[in-house]
């Protein structure tokens, strides 16, 4: 048995199913997005079994991208958790058949509360679709399961529809990377976008003068373990920087540089960045300019307060 062939056929079939679903999108999708945007409460997602698992993923995506949302287990809702709802909330009910008993039993209560309902089903004639305000078609021709039984292609279609809603909402809300970072402060993206240069800079930075000897400059760089040093003039103004690379290039060009002063091999007019700048901005600047470190200044004063490296 060739497992690779089976896997490729399954992936191709699922990709085709999603493409067909995209071709069927109509004004109902537009109305669904508008309904969520107009909602003064939360977007509440309900589903049983695998639909519930997908619903929980949808909630996680919505909540992290600016759409207040939570998952409501339909069985628990029928036994008291309906009290979590307010009339201003709207619901997305997920059931491929559109006949899931636990969801159908909720409809009378939701109607009496005044909640708007978006149904995600594969059957537009189902009970759920007929009682919803908006129906999103997630139908597929068949499951990739050889027995056409295990939810596979249909679950992918449901997930894709949820992501399509999320992306449309992100665009409508003009949700930016900084907004995303605020909801993900513990992740690497949050760190990059929320961390300021001053939070990670090395301070105080190693400093020499233009008249410092090659030997003493090398000693300062070694002691600092940064592999660089800033160069300040007699007034304390930044006039240059010396990195390991500067020393190697200077030695290759002229072995006699060991007898020179720093002014002979430093890089003049080094790039700087304000300590209040975002770390992501500093990293992007260093990558774009192919440099490994920036002198860090404080506010409008221009005083050097540290140094930041690209890996900080």
Residue 199, pLDDT score:
85
Q: 45: left (phi > 0), else alpha (psi -120 to 50), else beta?
A: beta
The pair of structure tokens assigned to 96 is: 């491929």
Residue where a domain terminates, one of 142, 175, 208: 175
Paired strand residues for 134 = 118
Q: Is the pLDDT score of 280 beyond 60?
A: yes
Does any domain span residue 184?
no
Q: Residue 61: how many CB atoms within 10 A of its CB?
A: 19
Shared-domain flag, residues 215 and 137: no
Q: Which among 6-10, 258-262, 272-276, 288-292 has the top mean pLDDT?
A: 6-10
Residue 302, pLDDT score:
64
CB burial of 105-127 (b: ≥16 within 10 Å; e: otherwise) equals: ebbeebeeeebbbbbbbbbeebb
Does any domain span residue 169?
yes
What CA–CA distance (Å, rounded) separates 161 from 139?
Answer: 11
Tell how far CA 47 is from the center of its chain.
26
Helix then strand count (H, E) for the chain reads 14, 12
Comparing CA positions, the residue from 105, 91, 80 lying closest to residue 35 is 91
Residue 140, pLDDT score:
96
Q: Residue 67: how many CB atoms within 10 A of its CB?
A: 22
Residue 301, pLDDT score:
57
Does any domain span residue 36?
yes
Residue 276, pLDDT score:
85
Parent domain of 25: 3-175
Does any domain span residue 182?
no
Whole-number average pLDDT of the chain: 90
Shared-domain flag, residues 17 and 114: yes
> What phi and psi, each to the nearest 5 degrees, are found at residue 293?
-150, 155
Shared-domain flag, residues 102 and 231: no
Shared-domain flag, residues 169 and 204: no
Does any domain span residue 105?
yes
Q: Is the pLDDT score of 28 beyond 60?
A: yes
Of residues 288 and 11, more confidence is placed in 11
Residue where a domain terminates, one of 175, 207, 232: 175
The confidence band for 288, taking pLDDT boundaries of 50, 70 and 90, is: confident
**Number of structural domains found in the chain:** 2
Residues 263-269, mean pLDDT to the nearest whole number: 88
3-state SS record for 73-88: CHHHHCCCHHHHCCCC
Comparing CA positions, the residue from 14, 12, 26, 28 lying closest to residue 159 is 14
Residue 71, pLDDT score:
98
With pLDDT > 70 as the criterion, what percentage of the chain qualifies?
Answer: 93
Paired strand residues for 45 = 71, 92
Q: pLDDT tens for residues 199-256?
A: 888 888 899 999 999 999 989 988 888 888 899 988 888 888 988 888 888 888 888 8
Comparing CA positions, the residue from 118, 119, 48, 54 lying closest to residue 89 is 118
Q: Is the pLDDT score of 124 beyond 60?
A: yes
Q: pLDDT tens for residues 43-93?
A: 999 999 999 999 999 999 999 899 999 999 999 998 999 999 999 999 999
Q: Among 22-36, 37-51, 155-169, 261-275, which stretch is predicted with the lowest mean pLDDT?
A: 261-275
Shared-domain flag, residues 144 and 214: no
Question: What CATH number corresponds to the domain at position 252?
Answer: 3.10.580.10
């Amino acid at each position: 048995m060739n497992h690779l062939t089976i896997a490729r056929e399954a992936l191709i079939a699922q990709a085709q199913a999603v493409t067909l679903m995209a071709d069927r999108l109509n004004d109902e999708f537009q109305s669904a997005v508008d309904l969520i945007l107009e909602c003064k409460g939360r977007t509440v997602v309900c589903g049983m079994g695998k639909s519930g698992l997908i619903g929980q993923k949808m909630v996680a995506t919505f909540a992290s991208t600016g759409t207040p949302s939570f998952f409501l287990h339909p069985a628990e809702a029928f036994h008291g958790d309906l009290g979590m709802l307010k009339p201003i909330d709207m619901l997305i009910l997920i059931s491929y058949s559109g006949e899931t008993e636990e969801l159908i039993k909720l409809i009378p209560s939701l109607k009496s509360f005044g909640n708007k309902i978006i149904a995600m089903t594969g059957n537009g004639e189902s009970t759920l679709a007929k009682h919803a305000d908006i129906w999103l078609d997630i139908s597929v021709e068949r499951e990739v399961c050889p027995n056409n039984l295990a939810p596979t292609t249909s679950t992918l279609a449901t997930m894709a529809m949820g992501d399509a809603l999320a992306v449309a909402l992100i665009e409508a809300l003009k949700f930016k990377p900084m907004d995303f970072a605020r909801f993900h402060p513990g992740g690497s993206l949050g760190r990059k976008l929320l961390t300021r240069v001053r939070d990670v800079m090395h301070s105080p930075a190693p400093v020499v003068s233009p008249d410092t000897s090659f030997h003493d400059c090398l000693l300062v760089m070694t002691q600092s373990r940064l592999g660089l040093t800033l160069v300040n003039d007699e007034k304390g103004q930044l006039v240059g920087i010396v990195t390991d690379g500067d020393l190697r290039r200077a030695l290759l060009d002229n072995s006699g540089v060991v007898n020179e002063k720093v002014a002979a091999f430093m890089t003049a007019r080094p790039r700087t960045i304000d300590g209040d700048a975002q770390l992501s901005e500093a990293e992007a600047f260093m990558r774009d300019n192919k440099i490994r470190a920036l002198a860090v200044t404080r506010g409008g004063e221009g005083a050097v307060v540290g140094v930041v490296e690209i890996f900080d």
